[in-house]
Amino acid sequence: MERAWTGQYLETAGRNTIESEGRLENLAELVGVASEFTDVDEFLERVGW
């Protein structure tokens, strides 16, 4: 999966709060897990979406 910097990510990163740090950690974990898959359908099937 291709990583894209979204406005939401950049806005969250710019806040520099404890809450935003937690959100960025969650996003990093999501990207790490999603990068193990070659396509979105496979990822969504695995996570039960």
Rounded to 10 deg, the angle between the 18-34 and 7-15 helix axes is: 140
Mean pLDDT by 10 residues, the chain (49 residues): 65 85 88 88 89
**Single-letter amino acid code for the residue at 45:** E
Q: Which residues contact 20 (CB under 8 A, 6 or more apart)?
A: 12, 13
For position 1, what pLDDT does the model report? 43
For position 42, what pLDDT does the model report? 92
For position 8, what pLDDT does the model report? 74
Residue 38 CA to residue 13 CA, distance in Å, equals 27
